[in-house]
Structure 1
Amino acid sequence: MKFDKWRNKKAASPAQGGGELVSTLFLEESPTLPLVYRSNVPDVDLSIWYEKNEQAILANLDKYGAVLFRGFKVNSQSDFQSVVTKMIPQTAEYVEGATPRTQLNDGIYTATEFPADQEIAPHNELSYTMNPPDKLVFCCLQAPESGGQTQIVDVSKVYQRIDSKIINEFNDRNGWLLCRNYGTGFGPTVSKAFGMDNVEDIKAYGEKRNLKVTIISDTQVKTEQVRDAVHSHPKSGDKLWFNHISFWHPSSLCPTIRATMESSLGLSGLPYHTYFGDGSPIDDTTIDEIRQAYADEECKFDWREGDVMLLDNWKVAHGRKPFTGNRSVLVSMG
C-alpha cells in the first residue's frame, strides 16, 4: 500500500490520544488550554485532515474554546489559505478595527502590528460590534527568537472571577460605552477603520448598527456605541465577560503617553475611552480588578512555525506578549 493512501485512510478517523497519525494532548507549558492535535507523521495536509475530522474537532472547540494544530504541513500563506477555506468558509472583513494590520489576501490579515516591545492585552475580537466573528484562526509562519506568545483566556472563567458587585454595576448602568475619535493623528484613520472614504456612508453604516456617528470634518469622526458587558454564549448559554472595557480604558495607556494625549486632545478627545453605559466614568480600581481576572486565567505557549490555532472568539480572548526577533503570525476571522 502506498504511504499517501495509508495516511489518508488513517486521517479519516477522528484523532484519539495516542493515535498513530495524530495525537491529542495538552502542552506541559499550558496544561488546560489549548487542546492540541499533534501530527506524528510529516507532511500531513491540515486542510484535508481537518475536513475529514471536522465534527470531532468542533466538538472539542465547543468544549475548550481553543484548539492548536501542530506538526502539520503548513509552510506558507497559501497553505494557510487552504486551511482557512475549511475552517472558516465565510471570512469576515476587519471593519471598525482599531489596531494596525495588513490585509494580505481575501480574509487573511497580519496579526496586530504593534511594536515588539509592547504587550497587547487579552480581548475578544470586535466585541463592540453588533456581529463579532464566531471564530478566529491564527497561523505562525515565523516564530520569534523569544516571547511573542498569543496568550489566551477563557472569558467564562473571567466572568466567574469578577466580583458580582462589579458585574451588577455594569448591568445597572446599561452595560458599557465605547467612545472613539478618528482622524486625530492617533490610531487609525476613518477610511482605514471603516473601509470607506465618504463620511456620509459611514454615518449610514452606523445607523444600521446602533453606532452613533458624529461627523466633525471630512477626515475626523467620533463614534459612540453602548454594548452589554456580559453576553451569553450563542451555543452553550454560558455567561461571558465579552467586551473591551479594560482594553480601551485610558488607564491602559502608559502614563507618559496618556498625559501627552490628554494635554493635546483633552479626555473626551482620546482615540478611545470606555465608560459605564450611562456615560459615567469607570474608576481605575474597577479596571484593575477586571485586568487581574484576565491575568489569573491566562494561558500561553511558545509558537512553533507551522502552528495553527482555532479559537471560539466568544469563549476565548487572545492577546500578544512582547517579543524579540522577527515574528510572522497571520489571522483570519469569520
Structure 2
Amino acid sequence: MGMNPAWKPCEINPDSISAGSGAGVAALVDWLDGTSGLRDVLDREKALVFRGFGVTEEQLDPVMDRLLPNRLAYVHGNSPRTKVGDNVYTSTEYPAEFTISMHNELSYAHSWPARLMFCCVTAAETGGATPVVDAELWLASLDDEVRERFADGVRYTQNLHGGVGLGKSWQDTFETDDRDSVDDFLATSKALGEWRRDGGLRVTQLRPATVRHPRTGAEVWFNQSDQWHPAALGDETGAALAKLLPADQLPQSVAFADGEPIPAEYVLQVRDRALAAAVDVDWRPGDVLLIDNLLVAHGRRPFTGSRRVLVAMSD
C-alpha cells in the first residue's frame, strides 16, 4: 500500500451507513454485525472514527466485542493508566499540559496489539486531541542517515521497582506479584530479566526499529526510541531526573542494538517529524476511534479541563 501524504482517518457516521437507521449504539452494532470485511476496511483506511452514535462507557462492551475480536491485557506496558473494566483502561495518565509524542502501542515488546480502540467519555474543555500519523509516512519522513543507523534495531532497558521507587513497579507492569509468572513471560517474549537485591527488576530487550504489515506489506517506523530517550522527555521533572541519573539507572532508557548511545538529534527528529505530519482527532463525547496499531501511530495533545478517554486493544 503506497504512502499517502494527505491521509486522514475515515469517518463513519449514521448517515454514511444507512439512511434512517438511527443514530444510536444499536445502529452501530447492527452495522458492524453486517460488515464482514471490517479487517479489509481497516487495512485500506488504517483508522476509522465512529461519530454520532453516542457511545457511552456503559454501552461500550457490545461495540468492543465487535471491533476487538480478542481483547488483551496491558501487560508489560510502560505508561501509567488505570484498569476500569475487562481489559479496558484509561488512556495514558500524563500531566495535561504536556504532549504525548507519537508511538505505536507496545512497539518495544515481543508482541503487540494489532488494533487499538479509543472511546471519548468526556472531552477536554480545550485541546486534548488524539493525533494520529501514517507510520509508513513517518518512516519516509526521516533522513537516510537516521533510518540506516536504526536498521539493526534498538535495545530497551527498564528498571522496575518492587513497590517503592521511580516509575512503575514490576507488579503493576506485569499485573501480577508472582515472580515465576514474570520470569515465564520474559522468557516467552525473548527479554532478559535481572532481579535486583532491592526487590526491583531490570528488563532488557532487543527489538526491531521497523516492521512490515502482515497483509499490506507496508514497512513502517515501529519503535519507541524517542519516548525512552532522555533528550525527548517532555516534562521538566523527567528531564531533571535524566541529568541526575546515568541512563542505565533511569526507569527506562534506550540505545542502538549494539549498545551505542542514540544521538539526541536523531530522537528529536523522529519525535518532531511525526508530530508535524500528524492529523488530530478532535474528540466529541461518544466518539470511537479504531486504528491499526502497525499502520498508525498515536499521541495526545495538551488540554485543559477534565478529559476521559478509554482504550482497549486486540490481537
Give yes or no for TM over 0.5.
yes
The correspondence for 1:62, drawn from 20, 35, 43, is: 43
Query: Cα distance, 1:258 vs. partner?
Result: 4.3
Distance 1:103 1:316 in 2: 24
Name the SS for the 1:53 alignment partner.
coil
Residue identity (%): 34
Q: Indicate conservation of the 8 Å contact 2:117/2:291, yes or no.
A: yes
Query: Alpha carbons of 1:37 and 1:259: their partners in 2 closer, same or farther (altered >3 Å)?
Result: closer
**2:260 aligned with 1:283:** no
Partner of 1:32: 7
Q: Indicate conservation of the 8 Å contact 1:199/1:215, yes or no.
A: no
Query: Cα distance, 1:254 vs. partner?
Result: 4.6
1:242-281 → structure 2 map (5 Å cutoff) = 242-254=222-234, 256-258=236-238, 260-262=240-242, 264-281=244-261
Partner of 1:166: 146
Distance 1:309 1:120 in 2: 17
* TM-score normalised over the length of structure 1: 0.85
Partner of 1:119: 99
**2:207 aligned with 1:232:** no
Aligned AA (1:99): S
Coordinate RMSD, CA, aligned: 1.9
Where does structure 1 lack aligned partners over 5 or more consecutive residues?
Answer: 1-30
Distance 1:72 1:83 in 2: 11
Aligned AA (2:211): H
Partner of 1:177: 155
Name the SS for the 1:128 alignment partner.
coil
Query: Alpha carbons of 1:304 and 1:258: their partners in 2 closer, same or farther (altered >3 Å)?
Result: closer
Distance 1:51 1:170 in 2: 42
Q: Indicate conservation of the 8 Å contact 1:72/1:306, yes or no.
A: yes
Distance 1:65 1:220 in 2: 39
Q: Write the deviation string for residues 209-244 of structure 1: whole angstroms up to 9, x where unpaired.
A: 110101003631111000010111111111110111
Q: Indicate conservation of the 8 Å contact 2:190/2:205, yes or no.
A: yes
**2:56 aligned with 1:51:** no
Distance 1:258 1:212 in 2: 25
Between the two structures, name the one with larger relative contact order (CA 8 Å, sep ≥ 6).
2
The correspondence for 1:204, drawn from 167, 174, 184, is: 184
Q: Indicate conservation of the 8 Å contact 2:102/2:271, yes or no.
A: no
Q: Indicate conservation of the 8 Å contact 2:230/2:242, yes or no.
A: no
Aligned AA (2:140): Q
Query: Alpha carbons of 1:256 and 1:36: their partners in 2 closer, same or farther (altered >3 Å)?
Result: closer
* TM-score normalised over the length of structure 2: 0.90
Partner of 1:300: 280
Distance 1:321 1:259 in 2: 19
Aligned AA (1:249): H
Deviates more, 1:319-328 or 1:214-223: 214-223
Where does structure 2 lack aligned partners over 5 or more consecutive residues?
Answer: 1-5, 16-21
Aligned AA (2:11): V
1:182-201 → structure 2 map (5 Å cutoff) = 182-183=160-161, 185-201=165-181
Q: Write the deviation string for residues 151-188 of structure 1: whole angstroms up to 9, x where unpaired.
A: 101111111111222212122xx310111111172211
Distance 1:42 1:300 in 2: 24
Distance 1:255 1:53 in 2: 43
Q: Indicate conservation of the 8 Å contact 2:232/2:271, yes or no.
A: no
Pick the structure with greater CA Rg: 1
Distance 2:281 2:242 in 1: 36
Query: Alpha carbons of 1:103 and 1:54: their partners in 2 closer, same or farther (altered >3 Å)?
Result: farther
Distance 1:44 1:93 in 2: 25
Distance 1:43 1:126 in 2: 33
